[in-house]
A and B are shown apart, each in its own frame.
Chain A
Amino acid sequence: MSVIKIKDLRKTYNETEVPVHAVNGIDLEFEKGEFAAIVGPSGCGKTTLMNMIGGLEEPTSGDVIVNGIDISKLSSKELIDFRLENIGFVFQAYNLIPVLKAKENVEFIMQLQKWDKRKMDERTISLLRSVGLGDKINSRPNQMSGGEQQRVAVARALASKPQFVLADEPTANLDSHATTQLLDIMKELNEEENITFIFATHDQRVMDKARRVITIDDGKVVSDVVKVNI
């Protein structure tokens, strides 16, 4: 069953002056549990595509349907609530809250969803252990390496049990060891929790790990390869 359906999606900037067609008619579907990478040169439209899938940007035309709901038609308030319940984000620059500990950063989303405290504590500790940070529960971001911070970000993205996780260049600021560690953890969580992961990336290591590689150029899909026996 498709988690995400994208139909003739378009995004044009500067419509009245010199129009820039960042996304120029894309049709895609993502199934539950997919581990997919969207790749392409800088400026090809992959970040814009990711933003529209995540409800962070409004399409010029076309539909983004998540679990049967056309999110392109939702109001900004409805979109925020939708993101909270359905989408996890991992950003290039980690974007942890610097004054909060790792545990508190992960709990943050569950607090927004008003989880029961005991269940929230259990899930937080379980997630941090899953990402190999059981000993860093009470550490603040400035006490952790880049790789560790990104793993906390992954735990946070999964905290609310989202339908899918959008990861925009998650390995861009990491060294190769941290990258490998992170990707292995994300792959494991993808398989354990059956959560869809979609990456926007230049990183060959991410492409190698992904089961599906979608190549974008000039706002269009130029190839869509599903790997067999990965």
Chain B
Amino acid sequence: MSQTHDIHPQAGRTGAPSIGAHSNRQEPRLLAAGTDAAWTRHLDTFGPWEPQAAAAGLLEALAAAGLTGRGGAAFETWRKASATAGSVRKGLLAARPVVIANGAEGEPLSFKDRTLLAHAPHLVIDGLLVLAAALGGAGMYVYAPAPSLPRVREALNERPGTRRVRVVEAPGTFIAGESSAVVNMIANGTAVPLDQRRRLSESGLNGRPTLVVNVETLAQVALIARYGPLWFRKAGTATDPGTRLVSVSGPASVRDVVLEVPGGAGLSPVLREAGMDPAAVSAVLVGGYHGRWVRPGAHVLSPAGPTGSTVRPGAGVIHALDLQTCGIQATARILSYLAAESARQCGPCMFGLPAMASILDRVAGGERNHRLVPELDRLGRLVSGRGACRHPEGTAGLVASAMEVFAADFRAHLSGYCAGPGGVAA
């Protein structure tokens, strides 16, 4: 995506203290230093920084904060870090662990990580340094797409203590950010997932215990290291503490925007904050291309909770579909993309995803065959859980949510008409 993305578009507009409709707006945390924050402004905003001192008790603080990964899986950060620390202790010859800041953002509708790397690279680097220090001096990498690299290098050069941080370019493919693909790219120059007979926390980059952490997660780690878990929990809910960045996009007339929202935020308020009317939205894709379609209604964003009222934020993608667009055609385009983005290493993915895409294309194109939908469902179940990474079940999950949310559209298509323009004419 080449266009620039606004941060908090209303920030300049409000001026006065937020009241009324704006009362639940989250004060910026991650982007508090403003745009293009250099090292001095970073320190002025967030305070002085001693990674070695901040590393003491960090894993306990992360556990108390309840921070979960912001890259998609929402796995507890302290658990992942502790597993890596545990593998270091278990080894006969203590292998030096590795921490990788993962800035690959292969999700086509995600732009929050590149926004963070552009405006707050120092917070990400703070998090990388303190987590590496907490693991007893781990090796450090920043893995990010080409457009983010000049800013990352500039930030590393304008501050002390970063001489040992290595920078690796992430390709722009969908799967390049999957954690084993990250390790594979750094080790071998190929960003495709690895078979994980052993977990990366046990044996990752060059056999070392390896921790791959999303860049936003690292920025959150830096804030927790500075201000503590109680401060972190002042935003969000008990089950989804803190804040998260979301990449909000919609119909062409709506500007793409990165927002920082509290944990457990409602989907409708987030759409409104991005300048959209939830009533003019037929469905929302939440989490990314491995996420779920939902009706805007009463859903809240949270990694855990009943599926009827919560939706997992995944990588923070929120994409609204307007009332005129056919959800089946939108999903068919995404599915074709995902099938093409298979690394073509694992049979069920290599053959199953294109088979699913071709069936959904036939439904989208108006083929009146009642066997198509059950077959799509069968293939989704068949590929799930069978691959080196989660691409098959992530894709199947998106399709399953489309079959649920767009059930009426599926019936319409199979009866020979489509609600959207450019579809099979009524």
A, B bound: no
